Structures are given as C-alpha cells and as structure tokens.
Amino acid sequence: MRSSLHRRITVPVAVLAAAGIALAGCSGSSDPNDPNAGGGGSAGSVGTADGVVNVYGTINGDEATLLEQSWADWEKENNIDIKYTGDKEFEKQIGIKVQGGDTPDLAIFPQPGLLADTVASGKVQPLPDGALANVKENWSEDWQKYGQVDGTQYGAPLMASVKGYIWYSPKKFAEWGVSVPKTWDEMEALGKTIAEKTGGPSWCAGFNSGEASGWPGTDWIEDAVLREAGADTYDSWVAGDTEFTDPKIKAAFDSVGSILLDPTLVNAGYGDVKSINSTAFGDVAQNVANGSCALTHQASFFEGFLISAGAKVAEDGDVWAFLTPPAKADDAQAVTGGGEMVAAFSNDADTAKVQEYLPAPTGPTAASSSVASSRRTRASTPRTPAATS
C-alpha cells in the first residue's frame, strides 16, 4: 500500500531539491544515532547460506520486474540468487507466514507499524552490522527511525517516493497552448481547458490496487488537505484529532471531487467516473504515455510505469510532471512521501550479504535508472521532477 509509510513536509521546491526528503518519525527510537539503535546478533542461527535468498513484498508487475533487473548483475557477481515474490495481500499474509513458520529470508514492509507488530513476534532479526553501517551512511535520520523498534534497527530503507505529482505531456501542452498551473484553481481550470480543446476528458485515474485499493484517492485528499487547510490541520487529521466530518476535511474531498467526479473531466481512455475504481493504478501509465490522457495524479514511482510503457520521461520528453500546486501561488509547496523497509527473518551469511547490499549506494535502485529515478529518496538529492524545477 503506497500511502502507508509517509508523513508530510512543507518546503519550497528549491529546498526540497537541495535537502531531499526527511520524513517525521513514527517508530520506537528517538535517537537514530544511539549506538544501541541497531546491529547486534541473534539468539541463534536462522536460515541457510545455500546461495538462495527469498524476498517477499508488496511490489508487483512492472515495478517488480524493474527491481529484479536492477540486482541481476549483483547476483552474478556474488553467486547469490535473489528470488523475489510479490503479493498484493502481503499485509495479511505476512502474519500468517510468521505464525505458520513459513517466513521468507527477507520481507519488504510497506508500513512501519506492520514491521513493529511483526518484530513483536520475536522472529525478525536485528540489522547486521554491514547493513546498519550503510543505512546510517546513506539514509536520513528520519528514514532510519522508520526501521527501529524499541531502539533496535530492524529495517533498512529500500525505496522512497515523493507523492503529489501531476504527470503530463510537454509536447501536448505546447500544442494546446497551455502552461503548468501555479495554483489549485488554475489546475482545475487547466483540466477544463484541455477537455474543451480535445472534446474529451482530460484526467485519468486508477484506484485499483488489490487489497490496498483506494490509496491513490487518499493521496489526492491528503494533497488537498495540505494545500487548503494547512500543515497543522493535516497533522491533526493524521493523528486522529481532526475528524473526517470536519468542514476543512470535507472541503478537501469536495475539491478533489470537483475533478474526479466530473464526467466531463474523467476517466480519459478508460470510461466514466465509475471506471476509476476498477482501473489498476499502474495501467494509467499507458494512456498517459500515448497521449490519450492529458493529466494524472501519482507519485514519483509512477515514472517506472511510464518507462515500461515506452515513454521518455524528461522535461523535453514524452511525459514530465509538476507538483500539485498550492492553494495560493506564494504558499510554500507541501509534499508527502512514501516508501518501504526491508527486514530479515534469517541471519545466515547470504541473507546478511543481501541486506548489506540493498541500502548501499550501489544497491538495486542505484543500479537501475528506471528504479532509481522513480523510487529512491536518500539523504542526498533525489532525482525527480522537483529536483529540476
């Protein structure tokens, strides 16, 4: 579920480009530099160094293919076969696997809370020293916190994404004589203008994501709350102190609904408004790539789907993106982020070696431009549209 591991930050885009993503903590340790936060051994040996490391996670389809391709060279060089299995029902199945003693060597967790709950089973191994060193060197303190439980580092960040991009065709914008909007109202007007010029819907969306269906819609709502109600209201809402019935939250739903519930604006290339629920979120990339959909709202990882669809993703390419604009042109830009954590159930030498490789600068997403550009946000500058805007 893409929206699970995230918090918000509010910064000018230029600062975002310089600083990368630093997301607020939601886990056990308050000090990721605590020498006790991480590493250490296990009470016993679990797993076998047989040249095969099984990895289980939520990543599926094109993203899974890109991920597997990204570590292929490393596998050959190190004589280790990384066997990845993606499961849309990961959140439910991982608990069943733990209870049944059928755990993978490594699991990719989309939620820090789920990782913490699984650690409570006593089956998750602390991060080995080599992996811990790479996490501390290459990931921000906030990302380190996500993988900590009670002061011990169990999870290593694998990938991260910036949410809230609007993907579009620069060539089509030039053809239609339109430009990137500077405010939310201008964005709404842009969609209507394109619909008038083309004679069909301008926006497309897909909320289907198996067990996690609906998260693309929550991303939309979060963007609206941040921009219209502000960061304090957003934080209060996330904490459960502001109800969904609050006028500010209802207003955000109305703002998103003015786009997604308008049959003249959606669902380009897929059908009517109802088709949003049945359309897989990744499938939208095909229509954005071929130009039949002018606008879609999705995170930076969407670039991987676009590349798989044959699009050149660049400011002068087939598809590019801008961050969902603020309510007012002079407001600071606000974004949310998401990502995954890798934790181990085995502590054999092969598993430890893969764990050390994954969060390293030469790890899988660094080896693949398709994955790196669309998924990973380290402590350093991310390569995203925001970084060059």
**Domain-embedded: residue 216:** yes
Tell whether 60 and 155 lie within a shared domain: yes
Tell whether 107 and 195 lie within a shared domain: no
Tell whether 80 and 116 lie within a shared domain: yes
Tell whether 172 and 137 lie within a shared domain: no
Tell whether 66 and 143 lie within a shared domain: yes
Residue 41: its pLDDT value, please?
39
d(CA 372, CA 365): 4
Query: What are residue 353's phi and psi, to 5 degrees?
Result: -65, -40
Domain boundary (323, 355, 371) is at 323
Residue 385: its pLDDT value, please?
53
Residue 45: its pLDDT value, please?
66
Tell whether 73 and 139 lie within a shared domain: yes
d(CA 26, CA 35): 19
Q: Which domain holds residue 219?
A: 165-323
**Domain-embedded: residue 311:** yes
Tell whether 45 and 26 lie within a shared domain: yes
Nearest C-alpha neighbor of 58 from the set 27, 19, 89: 89
Domain boundary (299, 323, 347) is at 323
What residue ranges of the chain have pLDDT lower than 50?
A: 1-43, 366-384, 386-389
Q: What is the DSSP string of 214-249?
A: THHHHHHHHHHHHHHT-HHHHHHHHTTSS-TTSHHH
**Domain-embedded: residue 3:** no
**Domain-embedded: residue 115:** yes
Tell whether 123 and 193 lie within a shared domain: no
d(CA 198, CA 36): 60
**HSE-up of residue 81 (Cα within 13 Å, Cβ side):** 5
**Domain-embedded: residue 368:** yes
**Domain-embedded: residue 9:** no
Count up the domains in the chain and report the number: 2
Tell whether 40 and 66 lie within a shared domain: yes
Tell whether 62 and 205 lie within a shared domain: no
Tell whether 359 and 222 lie within a shared domain: no
Residue 251: its pLDDT value, please?
98
**Domain-embedded: residue 175:** yes
Domain boundary (323, 347, 370) is at 323
Residue 218: its pLDDT value, please?
94
CATH label of the domain that carries residue 55: 3.40.190.10
**HSE-up of residue 281 (Cα within 13 Å, Cβ side):** 27
Instruction: Provide CB contacts within 8 A for 17, sequence distance 6+.
Output: 381, 382, 386, 387, 388, 389
223 and 196 in contact (C-beta within 8 Å)?
no
d(CA 187, CA 184): 5
Residue 263: its pLDDT value, please?
97
Tell whether 145 and 184 lie within a shared domain: no
Residue 141: its pLDDT value, please?
87
**Domain-embedded: residue 15:** no
Q: Which residue has the tokens 């969306």?
A: 205
